[in-house]
Amino acid sequence: MLQPIDYTYIVELVHSSGDVSLNYTMKGTGQFKSGWQNGWKSFYPIEHLNSGGFLWPDEDKIKFIFKFQPATIFEQNKVLEWHLNQMEHKARNAEDAIARLQEEKKKIEQTVTEQRRQIEKIEKREIQLKETLGSQQKDRELIADQRSELKALKRDNESLKKKLNDFVAAQKRQIVDDSLSFQTDIIKILKKYYLFI
């Protein structure tokens, strides 16, 4: 968790005339903490909003502009380091997820291979039964049972193949998404860093 740091902040109450010079501005430096509040009494008297020209009558609202940034380059570095650590943590999690997907993929491939062997054995037995048992009723019943088992195994095999393809597609999407997200986050951080300097 990032420790509280000092921020320079500017809060502007926008004048309804659009004249920037009439905006009411409050500046300061402080730490933003969870649950921190700053009420009207320390900012601008709420009863003077209309007379001061800060109430936008056509829209029935007031408008603010908020700006803040770390107070020093050292504080900025703390923020950058924290964001980099967060991204490294996400990258490690992504690598772990990919490793789990690879392991699951291997298991599915092994199952598919084993089922393929079983299918080949059943098909071979079916051919042998057809050749040896001929037209006898008992033989036809045995062949029908073998065919039912073969169909069931083929369905399972197709289902496993689809699951394997889904895992591979999910793995590719995750790698691309994590890479793009990581690059985007780095670019944003560097932009903020150079804008501040």
Domain ranges of the chain: 6-71, 77-196
Q: Has residue 14 got a pLDDT over 90? A: yes
DSSP 14: P
pLDDT band at 15 (very low <50, low <70, confident <90, very high): very high
- Per-residue pLDDT of 59-95, as tens digits, reads 888 898 888 777 778 877 887 888 888 899 998 998 8
CB 101 within 8 A of CB 166: no
pLDDT value at residue 23: 92
> What residues contact 15, with CB distance under 8 A and at least 6 apart?
22, 23, 24, 52, 53, 54
pTM above 0.75, yes or no: no
